[in-house]
């Protein structure tokens, strides 16, 4: 009886269409892969810790408006990995270094790895699912490979993150297994925008995920068999400027309009997260339920 009940609790992704959300930073021009036109005024983007901690405002001001390729993608890597170039029509190349390489002998064999970001792709980086305690709890309900004991053995200090390679792969494979190309939806969202004071997530648009994903290993010098995986994952999307198979809300134009029309009710043209579904638009990347997706679409239809 116990086994039957346990099997009922474990949810499989097989034959299930999963939708997703992903966080993006505010930008004052576009998402084709270029530095802001007025970098020092883009305070809203700094709500994303990775951008706030690594910004070089002097460099950005000197090179404002220039493409990331022109100034060097590595200089703008924190922006790119936070989805500031998801509308780029060219591939971008990043240098990935394992964060634990210098702190633990078990990770010294991982070498700097060139990561190829595909055109018209989001980079999805799991946070909630790769927290060690979260993974251990989620494994009780979802059918993925995770070994807590081996995860604990990987580090000689206390860490909240899953660093055991096979467990990482188990989580990533399962999380993305529900992708059904051209049927799975993806909702980019802002944690903060400059034109409205509201703590709700602002939905930036919507598109289809256009192909299955592939996770990438860190390159190794061969001295150790342990594998680890780059957490950024290319997820190609259907959003284009013609709006045919996806759309982005015209928030840049809206933000300029409200500067001259302060009496305008900007909330009437803002697409917010579905009420009661905050957790599905959090942690940088998450699953979006059918109910939340339907609610967002219904809210969009009601906008002025």
In angstroms, the CA 54 to CA 58 distance is 12
Q: Which tens digit of pLDDT belongs to each residue from 29-76? A: 999 999 999 999 999 999 999 999 999 999 999 999 999 999 999 999
Q: Where does the pLDDT of residue 4 fall: very low under 50, low under 70, confident under 90, or very high at 90 and above?
A: very low
Provide DSSP, the chain. Answer: -HHHHHHHHSBP-TT---EEEEE----SS-SSSB--SSGGG--GGGGSHHHHHH--HHHHHHTTT-BHHHH-GGGGHHHHHTTS-TT-SS-EEEEE--TTTTT-GGGTTB--EEEEEPTTEEEEE-SGGGBHHHHHHHTTTB-----HHHHHHT-SS--SB---HHHHHHHHHHHHTT--TTTSEEEEEES--TT---SS-EE-EEEEB-S----EEPPB-SS-----EESEEEEEB---TT-SSEEE--HHHHHHHHHH-TTS-GGGG--BPPTT-GGGG-SSEEEE-HHHHHHHHHHHHH--
**Beta-sheet pairing, 185-190 with 19-23:** parallel
pLDDT at 8: 40
Q: Which two tokens stand for residue 127?
A: 């946070």
pLDDT at 104: 85
pLDDT at 248: 97
Cβ count near 301 (within 10 Å): 6
Q: Which tens digit of pLDDT belongs to each residue from 259-273? A: 999 999 999 999 999
Q: Which tens digit of pLDDT belongs to each residue from 161-189? A: 999 999 999 999 999 999 999 999 999 99
The answer, yes or no, to whether residue 12 has pLDDT greater than 60, is no
219-236 burial, b at 16+ Cβ within 10 Å, e below that, comes to ebeeeeebebbbbbbbbb
pLDDT at 5: 39
Q: Where does the pLDDT of residue 156 fall: very low under 50, low under 70, confident under 90, or very high at 90 and above?
A: confident
Q: Angle CA(7)–CA(13)–CA(16) in degrees, nearest 5?
A: 120
Q: Where does the pLDDT of residue 6 fall: very low under 50, low under 70, confident under 90, or very high at 90 and above?
A: very low
Q: Which residues pair with 203 in a beta bridge?
A: 189
The answer, yes or no, to whether residue 3 has pLDDT greater than 90, is no
- pTM, two decimals, is 0.93
Question: What is the overall mean pLDDT for the chain?
Answer: 93
pLDDT at 158: 80
């Amino acid at each position: 009886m116990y086994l039957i009940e346990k099997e009922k609790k474990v949810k499989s992704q097989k034959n299930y269409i999963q939708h997703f959300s992903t966080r993006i930073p505010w930008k004052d021009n576009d998402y084709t892969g270029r530095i802001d036109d007025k970098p020092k005024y883009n305070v809203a983007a700094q709500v994303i810790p990775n951008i706030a901690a690594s910004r070089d405002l002097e460099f950005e001001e000197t090179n404002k408006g220039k493409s990331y390729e022109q100034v060097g993608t590595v200089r703008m890597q924190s922006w790119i990995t936070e989805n500031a170039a998801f509308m780029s029509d060219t591939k971008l190349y990043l240098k990935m270094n394992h964060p634990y390489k210098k702190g633990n002998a078990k990770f010294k064999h991982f070498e700097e790895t060139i990561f190829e970001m595909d055109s018209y792709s989001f980079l999805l980086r799991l946070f909630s699912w790769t927290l060690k305690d979260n993974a251990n709890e989620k494994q009780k309900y979802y059918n993925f490979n995770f070994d807590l004991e081996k995860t604990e053995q990987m580090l000689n200090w206390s860490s909240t993150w899953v660093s055991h390679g096979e467990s990482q792969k188990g989580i990533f494979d399962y999380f993305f297994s529900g992708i059904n190309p051209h049927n799975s939806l993806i909702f980019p969202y802002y944690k903060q925008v400059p034109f409205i004071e509201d703590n709700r997530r602002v939905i930036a648009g919507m598109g289809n995920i256009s192909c299955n994903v592939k996770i990438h290993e860190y390159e190794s010098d061969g001295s150790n068999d342990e594998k680890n995986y780059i957490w950024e994952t290319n997820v190609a999307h259907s959003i284009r400027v013609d709006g045919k198979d996806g759309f982005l809300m015209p928030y840049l134009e809206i933000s300029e309009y409200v500067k001259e029309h302060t009496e305008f009710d900007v909330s009437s043209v803002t697409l917010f997260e579905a009420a009661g579904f905050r957790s599905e638009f959090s942690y940088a990347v998450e699953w979006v339920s059918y109910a939340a997706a339907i609610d967002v679409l219904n809210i969009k239809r009601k906008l002025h």
